[in-house]
């Protein structure tokens, strides 16, 4: 078993991203003090370019910690996904500064748990919910989603007393595309064999970058991170030993407590080369078209995100297959959160698709506690040993 070395080099590349969520609290407070409006979101389907075009700061509110789940369970049932409970718990207890600072929370009708949670969240925060079509089978869904994007634009304009011009929206699309391209360049470094970063290091940057609120600064830091990693690799740095089993990680978003899954994989002799989920390629693989009507471009881009809340969901399989080839994957591991019905029901489709390709597959269900780490180790260890 080729367990990954504790690869800290070069530490400065990762430092600013690893603490970004915590450090961002102060930046957010300073931005509020300057009078900037803040919008919180929960999902990759929300077109953040609208906030950028309005000069509104936006931040992801999905929690990755179990800290407030007991508080949330005084209101919500226990048997819903930990992401929903933890996020609501932070609003209820006022313990998340990002939630606290959000003037507007934009939800979406993705899974049932979130849809119903937003009703309760609406008693604490100003919540606006976008209605997402559940299928891409026909044009009806696209025209409906286009109208939802226009409605969100109106809501932002009213709430923050701003005007979103087409020109500003085009600039925002370009800026966000630039960020997507850099994050894609970052994770595509792991096409190299052995990869120049561990899966945990890659995750630190992917996850941390969302808590950097100065766009120009973020672009500079991401550029420096990509160049720094390349330079270290050229100098001979090898944080991942040759022979580590190359894993594509799919499923629910990863961050915070669920990093345990990545740790378990990498301690068992695997290396996560790419994240297919919303923490990674699902968000950054494609670009929003910079030509034509910007609203139509946003509609096309966002509606084609391959999340399990869509039925059917061929976009996930297409991306997964492509990533397996591009990253010379030895296997795919899926992480689903407890009670996430859409991902857990889709597991069968993913398993069948990978079986037809001849790609080994393991599905792990977990929550935000540390209680199942031993069990995860046993299952993952046996799986990687067999590859
Ligand atoms: S586009 S993955 S961010 S919905 S894990 S709360 S689905 S029960 S997070 Fe997601 Fe948007 Fe899809 Fe991405 Fe519900 Fe499942 Fe919980 Fe989930």
Report domain extents, the chain.
14-167, 186-386
3-state SS assignment for residue 58? strand
Architecture of domain 14-167: 3-Layer(aba) Sandwich (3.40)
* Protein residue with its CA nearest to atom 8 in ligand 1: 340
Beta bridge partners of 130: 108
CA dihedral sign of residues 261, 264, 265, 271: positive
* In the block, residue with structure tokens 């994050």: 183
Please check whether the two domains, 14-167 and 186-386, share a CATH topology.
yes
Q: Give residue 372's pLDDT.
A: 97
Q: Give residue 18's pLDDT.
A: 79
Q: Give residue 94's pLDDT.
A: 92
pLDDT-flagged residues of the chain (< 50): 1-3, 5-9
Q: Give residue 11's pLDDT.
A: 58
Q: Give residue 14's pLDDT.
A: 80
Q: Give residue 6's pLDDT.
A: 46
Structural tokens at position 285? 């693989």
Q: Give residue 8's pLDDT.
A: 40
> Cα–Cα distance between 19 and 21 in angstroms, integer?
6
Q: Give residue 23's pLDDT.
A: 85
> Cα–Cα distance between 347 and 219 in angstroms, integer?
35
The rounded Å distance from CA 276 to ligand 1 centre is 13
Closest CA relative to residue 122, chosen from 98, 90, 88: 88
Ligand 1, from 72, 309, 320: best to mutate by most atoms within 8 Å of Cβ?
A: 309
Fold of 186-386: Rossmann fold (3.40.50)
The rounded Å distance from CA 141 to ligand 1 centre is 19
Ligand 1, from 40, 41, 43: best to mutate by most atoms within 8 Å of Cβ?
A: 43
Whether pTM exceeds 0.85: yes
Residue 56 and residue 28 in contact, taking contact as beta carbons nearer than 8 Å: no
């Amino acid at each position: 078993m080729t367990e990954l070395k504790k690869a800290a080099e070069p530490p400065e590349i990762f430092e600013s991203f690893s603490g970004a969520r915590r450090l961002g609290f102060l930046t957010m407070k300073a931005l509020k003090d300057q009078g900037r409006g803040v919008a919180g979101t929960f999902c990759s389907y929300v077109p953040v370019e609208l906030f950028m075009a309005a000069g509104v700061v936006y931040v992801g509110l999905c929690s990755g910690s179990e800290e407030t789940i007991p508080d949330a369970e005084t209101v919500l049932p226990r048997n819903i996904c930990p992401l929903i409970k933890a996020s609501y718990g932070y609003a209820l207890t006022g313990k998340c500064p990002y939630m606290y600072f959000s003037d507007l929370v934009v939800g979406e009708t993705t899974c049932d748990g979130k849809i119903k949670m937003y009703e309760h969240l609406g008693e604490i925060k100003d919540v606006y919910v976008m209605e997402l079509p559940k299928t891409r089978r026909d044009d009806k869904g696209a025209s409906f989603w286009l109208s939802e994007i226009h409605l969100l634009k109106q809501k932002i304009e009213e709430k923050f007393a701003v005007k979103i011009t087409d020109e500003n929206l085009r600039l925002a699309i370009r800026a966000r595309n630039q960020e997507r391209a850099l994050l894609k360049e970052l994770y595509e470094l792991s096409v190299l064999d052995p990869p120049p970063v561990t899966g945990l290091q890659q995750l630190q940057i992917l996850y941390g970058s969302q808590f950097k609120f100065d766009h120009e600064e973020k672009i500079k830091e991401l550029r420096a991170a990509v160049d720094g990693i390349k330079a270290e690799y050229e100098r001979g740095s090898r944080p991942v030993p040759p022979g580590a089993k190359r894993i594509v990680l799919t499923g629910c978003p990863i961050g915070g407590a669920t990093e345990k899954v990545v740790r378990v994989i990498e301690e068992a002799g695997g290396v996560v080369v790419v994240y297919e989920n919303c923490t990674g390629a699902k968000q950054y693989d494609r670009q929003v078209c910079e030509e034509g009507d910007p609203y139509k471009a946003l509609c096309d881009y966002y509606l084609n995100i391959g999340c399990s809340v869509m039925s059917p969901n061929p976009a996930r399989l297409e991306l997964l297959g492509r990533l397996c080839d591009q990253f010379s994957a030895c296997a795919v591991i899926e992480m689903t959160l407890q009670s996430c019905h859409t991902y857990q029901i889709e597991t069968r489709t993913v398993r069948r698709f990978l079986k037809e390709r001849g790609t080994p597959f393991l599905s792990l269900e977990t929550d935000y506690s540390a209680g199942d780490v031993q069990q995860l180790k046993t299952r993952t260890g046996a799986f990687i040993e067999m590859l």
